[in-house]
Amino acid sequence: MKTNKSFAKRLKVTRNGKVLVRKPGQGHFNAKESGRSQIKKSGMQAFHMTNKEKARFLSNLN
Protein backbone atom coordinates (compact mmCIF):
# COMPACT_ATOMS: atom_id res chain seq x y z
CA MET A 1 0.00 0.00 0.00
CA LYS A 2 1.25 3.50 -0.79
CA THR A 3 2.11 6.04 1.87
CA ASN A 4 -0.37 8.90 2.20
CA LYS A 5 2.13 11.70 1.50
CA SER A 6 -0.11 14.64 2.43
CA PHE A 7 -0.61 13.13 5.89
CA ALA A 8 2.97 11.90 6.28
CA LYS A 9 4.38 15.41 5.73
CA ARG A 10 2.62 16.56 8.91
CA LEU A 11 4.23 13.84 11.04
CA LYS A 12 7.69 12.90 12.22
CA VAL A 13 8.55 9.30 13.07
CA THR A 14 11.33 8.90 15.64
CA ARG A 15 13.94 6.15 15.61
CA ASN A 16 11.93 4.10 18.11
CA GLY A 17 8.74 4.42 16.06
CA LYS A 18 7.04 7.15 18.10
CA VAL A 19 4.92 9.49 15.97
CA LEU A 20 5.19 13.23 16.68
CA VAL A 21 3.05 16.08 15.37
CA ARG A 22 3.08 19.87 15.81
CA LYS A 23 0.86 21.26 18.52
CA PRO A 24 -2.32 22.85 17.13
CA GLY A 25 -2.92 26.58 16.87
CA GLN A 26 0.47 27.73 15.59
CA GLY A 27 -0.52 28.76 12.09
CA HIS A 28 -1.60 32.39 12.44
CA PHE A 29 -3.17 34.92 14.84
CA ASN A 30 -0.21 34.56 17.20
CA ALA A 31 0.51 38.28 17.65
CA LYS A 32 -2.18 38.57 20.32
CA GLU A 33 -0.87 35.56 22.25
CA SER A 34 1.30 36.07 25.30
CA GLY A 35 4.90 34.96 25.15
CA ARG A 36 4.26 32.17 27.62
CA SER A 37 1.45 30.68 25.54
CA GLN A 38 3.56 30.92 22.37
CA ILE A 39 6.35 28.99 24.09
CA LYS A 40 3.84 26.36 25.24
CA LYS A 41 2.63 25.87 21.68
CA SER A 42 6.12 25.39 20.27
CA GLY A 43 7.56 21.94 19.88
CA MET A 44 6.07 18.58 19.09
CA GLN A 45 3.67 16.30 20.91
CA ALA A 46 3.05 12.57 20.74
CA PHE A 47 0.41 11.39 18.29
CA HIS A 48 -1.17 8.03 19.07
CA MET A 49 -1.93 5.73 16.15
CA THR A 50 -2.94 2.10 16.04
CA ASN A 51 -0.79 -0.34 14.12
CA LYS A 52 -3.50 -0.55 11.46
CA GLU A 53 -3.41 3.24 10.98
CA LYS A 54 0.40 3.21 10.85
CA ALA A 55 0.31 0.54 8.16
CA ARG A 56 -2.24 2.52 6.18
CA PHE A 57 -0.75 5.99 6.35
CA LEU A 58 2.96 5.45 7.02
CA SER A 59 3.71 2.14 5.33
CA ASN A 60 6.83 3.25 3.43
CA LEU A 61 8.01 5.84 5.93
CA ASN A 62 9.66 3.52 8.48
- SS3 letters across 6-45: HHHCCEEECCCCCEEEECCCCCCCCCCCCHHHHHHHCCEE
> Could you report the per-residue pLDDT of 3-13, keeping only the tens digit for each?
788 888 888 88
Cα separation, 7 vs 9, whole angstroms: 5
Q: Which domains does the chain have, with CATH numbers?
A: 5-57 (4.10.410)
Q: What is the DSSP string of 47-58?
A: ----HHHHHHHS
Q: In this predicted structure, what is the pLDDT of residue 62?
A: 55
Band of pLDDT at residue 43, cut at 50, 70 and 90: confident
Q: Say yes or no to pLDDT of 36 above 90.
A: yes
Q: Which amino acid is at 39?
A: I
Q: Say yes or no to pLDDT of 34 above 90.
A: yes
Return the DSSP state at 61: T
Top pLDDT among 62 and 17 is at 17
Task: Please compute the mean of the pLDDT values over residues 6-29 and round it to a whole number.
Answer: 87
